[in-house]
Amino acid sequence: MLDVQRNRGAKNRGEIEFTRKIMWTHMIWGAAVIALFLFHELFIWFAGSLVWYAASLAAMYGFMNQSRCCRWLLSLVFLAGTAVGLLFLNRIYPDIIPSRTALLPHSAIPLWLGFSNLTYGLGALVVLFNSRVRIAGETGFMLW
């Protein structure tokens, strides 16, 4: 039994390694986005990004456990994050009055949020349309 678990997905090792890199990148960058909203003292957006991150981790967990619909859900969560980020940059950011006590200047928001929008938009397309990610999701894998 342990031998079967240890060698699960051995024939799809390349696909699994590629998908693990995507998942780890999301986990690290998603946490960085949450921290950046906190450091800019945008607490409502901090809470919203925390809920988005939790939803993405739940979808990611289902995807790694061979749930076919969770790949679509993870892609939709990535696209939702991109859409809300674009909404923030175009509608909310111009009207924000910078706080004097913020740890980071508000002029840095378009830089990191634009990069996040681009990254998560591309990530959604990769999760949805890449055959290596699909095969890894059908095989099932763990992050380590």
pLDDT of residue 11: 72
pLDDT of residue 8: 55
Structural tokens at position 127: 């999760």
CA angle 51–53–55, rounded 5-degree value: 70
pLDDT of residue 100: 82
Spell 59-84 as b/e; 16+ CB within 10 A means b.
bbebbbeebeebbebbbbbbbebbeb
Q: In tens digits, what is the pLDDT along the chain, a chain of 144 residues?
A: 555 555 554 577 899 999 999 999 999 999 999 999 999 999 999 999 999 999 999 999 999 999 989 999 999 999 999 999 999 999 999 999 888 888 899 999 999 999 999 999 999 999 999 999 999 999 989 988
What sections of 40-108 are H helices per DSSP? 43-64, 68-87
Contact 136, 21 (CB under 8 A): no
Structural tokens at position 144: 């380590």
Contact 76, 58 (CB under 8 A): no
